[in-house]
A and B are shown apart, each in its own frame.
Chain A
């Protein structure tokens, strides 16, 4: 509202997700991998194992090429991306936590310097000092997680910060500790996975030794994910815990996918790394990498989804509109609040589109991801503008529509124009089924889990009569805007929904 909207043709959140998943995958490896490097080096010294030392030297070069370049730059990339997609929220985070980020920057600096010195001074530094530099790297890397974790978890559970505005209240928020542990576990697991990657370049029998050693890291990290996730989830805000009860298919699929990937990774690690390390091969390692990035992506997705309808819980909505702004925009209209809209005078359709971009575009596209065309198929303008009054009731994850009556009508007209369709059917029941799909299916199901409508056996006339008083039944229900014939057909369908 306050800023121009970067109109990509798809929701900007997808872009953030793409950059972020790549970054967190590498950056968690950058943390666990630091400990893996020094402990492997120490192991090589204490076992007097020059082959293992050769391996860890090679691994350190791979480590630097991946983490210092791609890991670090994609981290800056997230920052660039969130500034482009959610400038209001980014600004807020920067204002609240600039000194946290400044501390993070010091750690980042030390981390990069230590990584470079560690990887390129194997032959110059004495063993003791080299190990110390390795530990400095790991401590700085993990400490940077300690800092950034406070900022990430704050967005989901700002806790007392909402009342006090105090840095530490926001930082040590309700999900801080479980998230720190779960990310540390992930870091340990990823250190193992990437340890296996470089192990594949080594000849036997060193390869088996490394595979078993890396396998322990993987198993330890992955196995701790389950109890830690339960703890983490327990501290989620109560409203978002409800999202996990099966009402959202996407969440359900993500949970299932995450669980399967974790199970697969654990089973593969047990069999191919610990029990039969000789059998470990690049294909299994590739599957582990895919499983690892999937678990990471699932975790990030669920965390982000749980924040809906907010980007910063109870403070800024997912569409970058501040909760505190809502009242004045509802009173004065979007055109007064945003200098970026051209207004409705010349072209009401274009104005409706501008409102769509501002209010819906961060999560919905017209025809692609979360396509509005699928949702608004057959809507009329009145129905659409009525729905806009009840968005949080339609989906708990949606921010309210923000704007005056004029804005709501304009956006309603635009939404109705996306996929016009007139319900028709070979018989009344088929017509009724289509009317149901257009007017009711957004919130209700017949025989499904989501707000099921069970009117089987009810007199169709009685149902048709109820259609005129929906608002009395539940104030969150928009009025039925179909024709009398459509209403009757709907009633017939609901009274006997069998095919």
Chain B
């Protein structure tokens, strides 16, 4: 069958594939962490505002999340820009084609992000005293974020299925499409959304670890561990469903056909189990800090493994027709060096500002407590 795959850009890649891929995966990993905290965090905040009458800690958590979420939103977007950039360099002809086919929902993401963002700011201003209005706004935000995630799942599965493009284009060229006929669409989407909830559970554990007040700290850790454990166990099942729905050759690669892919899947299943084990054991531990930290680290490493696995899946799915490794390369080393310098300077500046802000906040909190 002749697939309508656009030819790649005639210009060579401006950097070696390994560098582009490293940056793609690194920045995407960071993006996913923040995105998960955003999606899961707003869902948690929604539940908190619904429980505002029965749980004092819920009200408190809603207030804390209200302070955090606008920044989490900002960094979700900022960290999302970089992977999208590197993805376009390597896989542009697939991504542009699939984006155009679902043009309307794809562009609607921008409007949905703006709405959700302002919703989060609204919650941030009212989060310390939640009411019905905040609950309604948060419900809308969660719905918008979940819809954005769904459109992403559609595009990133459709870009791997050029055999479906012509039918979609000829049935609707105005971009009113979604990738409904993709068997792995729903399990993939659910897998990622449940993963987001799980990671936000880890976020609660981290918030607990940084909390000074005993009761609230324990509650945060408990709720976070519970959220992580529950969603992760559920996700094991969804993960199998996802695996079963993958195209035959790709699935086979993950169950023995390809050593690296299979090992990754193994690691990706063991790490969350290790995380759960540590979170449970920490409950019985008198000074659980270390154990919790290990549990959280295992959870974060799971995300890293999943990010690499997702990339392996993409390359396996495209293998019959494309690999970025076959593209000509002409690295712009001078500009790459300049980027590295900017990157280091940017990190240093960021460190300087965050440190100053953190120290100043701590001093202010201490001063306030002294006054009280």
**Chain A residues within 8 Å of B, Cβ to Cβ:** 2-9, 15, 19, 65, 68-70, 72-74, 76-77, 79-81, 83-84, 87, 90-92, 94-96, 98-103, 105-110, 112-114, 116-117, 121, 123-126, 129, 133, 136, 140, 165, 167-168, 322, 324, 339-340, 342, 357
Interface size on B, residues (CB 8 A): 74
Chain A residues closer than 8 Å to B360, beta-carbon distance: 121, 124-126, 129
- Residue ID in chain A nearest B67 by CB atoms: A120
Which of B200-208, B211-219, B312-320, B335-343 forms contacts with chain A? B335-343
CB distance from B127 to the nearest CB of A (A): 14
The residue that A4 contacts in the complex, of B101, B109, B364, with Cβ under 8 A, is: B101
Known: A4-B101, A98-B85. A91 touches B9 (CB 8 A): yes
- Find residues 156-194 in chain B having any chain A CB closer than 8 Å to their own CB: 165-166, 169-170, 173-175
Which residue among B14, B71, B121 has the maximum number of chain A CB atoms within 10 Å of its CB? B14
Pairwise interchain contact A4-B82, C-beta atoms closer than 8 A: no
Chain B residues closer than 8 Å to A357, beta-carbon distance: 173
Chain B residues closer than 8 Å to A126, beta-carbon distance: 360
1/0 per residue, CB under 8 A from A, across B71-97: the answer is: 100110111111011101100110111
Does B234 interact with chain A (Cβ within 8 Å)?
no
- Residue ID in chain B nearest A72 by CB atoms: B77
Chain B residues closer than 8 Å to A100, beta-carbon distance: 335
Chain A residues closer than 8 Å to B99, beta-carbon distance: 80, 83-84
CA distance A35 to B363 in the complex (A): 28
CB distance from A365 to the nearest CB of B (A): 13
CB distance from A456 to the nearest CB of B (A): 49
Pairwise interchain contact A112-B89, C-beta atoms closer than 8 A: no
Pairwise interchain contact B103-A125, C-beta atoms closer than 8 A: no
Chain A residues closer than 8 Å to B3, beta-carbon distance: 339
Known: A3-B97, A114-B353. 7 other contacts (CB 8 A): A8-B174, A69-B114, A99-B14, A101-B85, A113-B75, A124-B360, A133-B353
Pairwise interchain contact A117-B353, C-beta atoms closer than 8 A: yes
- Find residues 1-51 in chain B having any chain A CB closer than 8 Å to their own CB: 2-7, 9-15, 23
CA distance A33 to B11 in the complex (A): 38
CA distance A175 to B106 in the complex (A): 33
Chain B residues closer than 8 Å to A84, beta-carbon distance: 96, 99-100, 103, 106-107, 175
Chain B residues closer than 8 Å to A90, beta-carbon distance: 88, 92, 96
Chain A residues closer than 8 Å to B80, beta-carbon distance: 76
Pairwise interchain contact A99-B353, C-beta atoms closer than 8 A: no
Pairwise interchain contact B342-A107, C-beta atoms closer than 8 A: yes
Does B270 interact with chain A (Cβ within 8 Å)?
no
26 pairs, CB–CB < 8 Å, chain A vs chain B: A2-B7, A3-B6, A4-B97, A4-B169, A6-B173, A72-B74, A73-B77, A80-B99, A80-B110, A83-B96, A84-B103, A87-B97, A92-B11, A94-B88, A94-B92, A103-B335, A105-B78, A105-B81, A107-B342, A108-B78, A109-B346, A110-B350, A114-B353, A124-B363, A136-B349, A339-B2
Chain B residues closer than 8 Å to A103, beta-carbon distance: 335, 338-339, 342
Does B322 interact with chain A (Cβ within 8 Å)?
no
Chain A residues closer than 8 Å to B84, beta-carbon distance: 79
Known: A76-B77, A102-B339. A113 touches B361 (CB 8 A): no
CA distance A87 to B91 in the complex (A): 12
CB distance from A473 to the nearest CB of B (A): 40
CA distance A379 to B80 in the complex (A): 50
Chain A residues closer than 8 Å to B86, beta-carbon distance: 98
- Residue ID in chain A nearest B365 by CB atoms: A124
Pairwise interchain contact B89-A124, C-beta atoms closer than 8 A: no
CB distance from A99 to the nearest CB of B (A): 4
Chain B residues closer than 8 Å to A125, beta-carbon distance: 356-357, 360
Pairwise interchain contact A91-B88, C-beta atoms closer than 8 A: yes
Known: A73-B117, A95-B11, A324-B10. A116 touches B350 (CB 8 A): no
Known: A73-B110, A96-B11, A107-B342. A113 touches B77 (CB 8 A): no
1/0 per residue, CB under 8 A from A, across B47-77: the answer is: 0000000000000000000000011001101
Pairwise interchain contact B85-A7, C-beta atoms closer than 8 A: no
CA distance A339 to B169 in the complex (A): 11
CA distance A324 to B7 in the complex (A): 14
Chain A residues closer than 8 Å to B107, beta-carbon distance: 15, 77, 80-81, 84
Pairwise interchain contact B82-A74, C-beta atoms closer than 8 A: no
Chain B residues closer than 8 Å to A4, beta-carbon distance: 4, 97, 100-101, 165, 169, 173
Chain A residues closer than 8 Å to B131, beta-carbon distance: none
Pairwise interchain contact A121-B357, C-beta atoms closer than 8 A: yes
Chain A residues closer than 8 Å to B114, beta-carbon distance: 69-70, 73-74
Pairwise interchain contact A7-B173, C-beta atoms closer than 8 A: yes
- Residue ID in chain B nearest A171 by CB atoms: B335
1/0 per residue, CB under 8 A from A, across B289-314: the answer is: 00000000000000000000000000
Pairwise interchain contact A69-B350, C-beta atoms closer than 8 A: no
CB distance from A400 to the nearest CB of B (A): 20
Chain B residues closer than 8 Å to A2, beta-carbon distance: 6-7, 93
Pairwise interchain contact A77-B103, C-beta atoms closer than 8 A: no
The 4 closest A-B pairs by CB, nearest first: A339-B4, A87-B96, A99-B335, A77-B110
